[in-house]
Each structure stands twice: as structure tokens, then as C-alpha cells.
Amino acid sequence: QLHLVESGGGSVQAGGSLRLSCAASGDILMNYCGGWFRQAPGKEREGVAVNYPDGRGTLYAESVKGRFTVSRDNAKNTLYLQMNSLKSEDTAMYYCAAFGDRCAATLADPPESRGYWGQGTHVTVSS
């Protein structure tokens, strides 16, 4: 059973940066697809980025390409999301999640009913 805890959210001005962390326990995160998702008030949850467990890289939503970067520290069993050039439309609750398979599909259609999810960390970007 994988347990995920996000941290690093906060308030920042447009153009600023934040780094979110997702610390895993209970299992080895590197064996899973690691993903970041977000949900703004009144909107559906959307995929931000999904990182393959086998070194094949990361898929990013078009809205964050070139600004956000996912990385892992396997020694710390942690997934990160570096967010640069933040915009007001990036304001949302950010969740990390881990899945055993179908990595790519989770980006387009976040499966809230499967996988392992953290409790979320809030990001507010003011313009």
C-alpha cells in the first residue's frame, strides 16, 4: 500500500516558481508511474504531468509544457514538480498520484477511483 504526502504549495506572484514534493511510503515509488494533477475551483481534475517508472520520460499537458518539470529522487522515494513562470490559471489544488500501469491514459483522464493519491497541496498564483 503506497501512501503519498504532498508539500510545497503556497502563494506566489505570477512569473514566480514553486517546487512541489510528493513523499511516498509503504512501497517503492520508482515502481510506479508518478503523476501530478490539479483541480481548480468549479473545474474537473486535470492531468499536469505523468512520469514513467522505467526512464522513458514524462508526458506533460500542453498548458504546462516548457514551464513545469517532473523529477524523482529514488533514494528519498519522492516525486517532484518544479513549476516555473507560474500564471494565475495555474491556481489549483495539486495532487500527486501513482499508478501501476496505463501511465499515459491517466494524463488525459485522471482515474480518481484507482491508483494511490495524496491529499493535495494548494497553489495560488496572483497576478
* DSSP letter string, 20-57: EEEEEESS-GGGSEEEEEEE-TTS--EEEEEE-TTS--
So what's the pLDDT on residue 37?
Answer: 98
pLDDT band at 35 (very low <50, low <70, confident <90, very high): very high
pLDDT band at 63 (very low <50, low <70, confident <90, very high): very high
pLDDT band at 56 (very low <50, low <70, confident <90, very high): confident
DSSP SS3 for 59 = strand
Burial pattern 10-24, b for ≥16 Cβ within 10 A else e, equals: eebeeeeebebbbbb
Q: Answer whether residue 61 shows pLDDT above 90.
A: yes
So what's the pLDDT on residue 22?
Answer: 98
pLDDT band at 55 (very low <50, low <70, confident <90, very high): confident
Q: Per DSSP, what are the bridge partners of residue 123?
A: 10, 92
So what's the pLDDT on residue 94?
Answer: 98
